[in-house]
Amino acid sequence: MATEGTPGTASIDLSSGTGRLVVAGDWTLPYYASLHAHMRICCNQVSDHTAVDFTGLGALDTAGASLLADLLGPARVARLAASTGLAAERAALLQTVGSALAAYCKPARPRRSKGLEDFLARIGAGVESFGKQTLLLLGFVGIVFEALGRNFWRPKHWRVTSLVSHVEQTGLNALPIVALLSFMVGAVVAFLGATVLADFGATIYTVDLVGYAFLREFGVILTAILLAGRTASAFTAQIGSMKAREEIDAIRTLGLDPVELLVLPRVLALLVSLPLLTFIAMMAGVVGGAVVCYATLGITPTMFINLFHEDIHVRQFLVGIAKAPFFAFLIAVIGCMEGFKVAGSAQSVGEHTTSAVVQSIFVVILFDAIAALFYTGMGW
């Protein structure tokens, strides 16, 4: 038996012919560096069939046991500990360390980033996410239509008070910002049009430019984008906060339908508000253009109105206003849907509020582009 305080060693005894690993001395943490050097010398000469002699083993701790497990293999160390006649405490330590290392799975090395592969993977993930989001939106639209059809013939289920309240919030309270923004954009469009058309001696057509721009596109698109940022986010935050506080679950517990109670009044309110705000935005934009025409081109209000009446047909107004109900429905549905998707934390409310604004603006612009192609194809 090795004396106390003897540094541990590991050597190969070739006298038996087949080779024998002799483990001696103290295999403890203070001798870790020297033991590791012995391991490097012996590791190439040790195989699964090499006999092991533990008779000279002195003190042993977990550091030494882990080195023996690295040298012989965790599974073999656990088997040898039970069959070589070691003291009970050392056999138990070797078995514990060997079993633990045998069951341990080394973490996989992080995959090295590959630029093109990662780029294509992100594109695929984005397309998949877009597809799932589209299916969710279509499903929620179906739920809203089902609730609307179910309650259309039941006046007792109409939430008139809630509807009027949401019309005030989404329409009346948004009126100043919509009118002011449309007026300023109309002034900018008229100023730029007058500047460009002056090179061709056609400044009189600035009236037509303002009329076509706001009646067909700018009036409805500016209003829809403003409400997508203002109203869709509000709908998501309101419903999401209720979801986080488990009020939605309480509504279901009372036997009420959250879609009927929370979604329908908001959707119908926006269907009323957005067309009205669109009309006001059109008028404000035209007035802004008329002010610039009078200030820079000398076109009086009477002349502006006469030119507007002669060149701009009512069809241009109908083409623009017809898009407002579709925009209103999509904005309201997306805002409410994102509110129901809130997971229950303040962070989730913020994330889905941002998502509602982004999705609403994207859908509005996409639908407007599709409508423009359709109108062009129809000759409108």
* pLDDT tens figures, 267-277: 999 999 999 99
Q: Do the strands 9-13 and 51-60 form a parallel or antiparallel pair, or are they unpaired?
A: unpaired
Taking each helix axis as running N to C, give the angle between helix 88-103 and helix 74-83, from 0 to 180 degrees, rounded to the nearest 10. Answer: 160
- Same domain flag for 232 and 327: yes
Quick check: is 204 in a domain?
yes
Residue at a domain's end among 60, 77, 103 = 103
- Same domain flag for 358 and 257: yes
Long-range contact set of residues 82-91: C-beta below 8 Å, sequence gap at least 24: 84/52, 84/54, 85/54, 86/54, 86/57, 90/57, 90/60
348 against 190, higher pLDDT: 190
Quick check: is 172 in a domain?
yes
For residue range 191-204, what is the model confidence (pLDDT) as tens digits? 998 888 888 888 88
- Same domain flag for 65 and 168: no
What is the 8-class DSSP label of residue 11? E
Whether 37 has a pLDDT exceeding 90, the answer reads: no
- The CATH number of residue 37's host domain is 3.30.750
3 state DSSP class of 17: coil
Contacts of residue 260, defined as CB under 8 A and 6 or more positions apart, other chains included, come to 147, 150, 151, 157, 159
Single out the residue of 161, 173, 368 nearest to residue 277, CA to CA: 173
Residue at a domain's end among 72, 103, 134 = 103
Quick check: is 27 in a domain?
yes
Element (H, E) at 277: helix 264-292
For residue range 83-127, what is the model confidence (pLDDT) as tens digits? 666 777 777 777 777 777 766 656 666 666 667 888 888 899 889
Tell me if 25 sits within 8 A of 7, measured CB to CB. Answer: yes
- Going by pLDDT thresholds of 50, 70 and 90, the confidence category of residue 1 is very low
Quick check: is 256 in a domain?
yes
- Same domain flag for 184 and 286: yes
- Same domain flag for 73 and 222: no
- Same domain flag for 246 and 356: yes
- Same domain flag for 222 and 316: yes
Residue at a domain's end among 62, 82, 103 = 103
Among 74-88, 143-157, 358-372, which is the least confidently predicted range?
A: 74-88
Tell me if 39 sits within 8 A of 27, measured CB to CB. Answer: no
Domain count, the chain: 2
- Same domain flag for 168 and 70: no
Torsion sign, CA atoms 180, 183, 188, 189: positive
Task: Record the pTM.
Answer: 0.68
- Same domain flag for 188 and 83: no
- Same domain flag for 177 and 305: yes
Single out the residue of 38, 33, 103, 93 nearest to residue 66, CA to CA: 93
- Same domain flag for 276 and 364: yes
Single out the residue of 265, 274, 182 nearest to residue 228, CA to CA: 274
- Same domain flag for 99 and 243: no
Quick check: is 194 in a domain?
yes
287: containing domain: 162-378
C-alpha span between 228 and 323 (Å, rounded): 15
Quick check: is 114 in a domain?
no
Quick check: is 298 in a domain?
yes
Tell me if 202 sits within 8 A of 305, measured CB to CB. Answer: no
Quick check: is 253 in a domain?
yes
The mean pLDDT of 296-325, rounded to a whole number, is 88
Whether 3 has a pLDDT exceeding 80, the answer reads: no
Tell me if 65 sits within 8 A of 97, measured CB to CB. Answer: yes
C-alpha span between 112 and 216 (Å, rounded): 52
Whether 376 has a pLDDT exceeding 60, the answer reads: yes
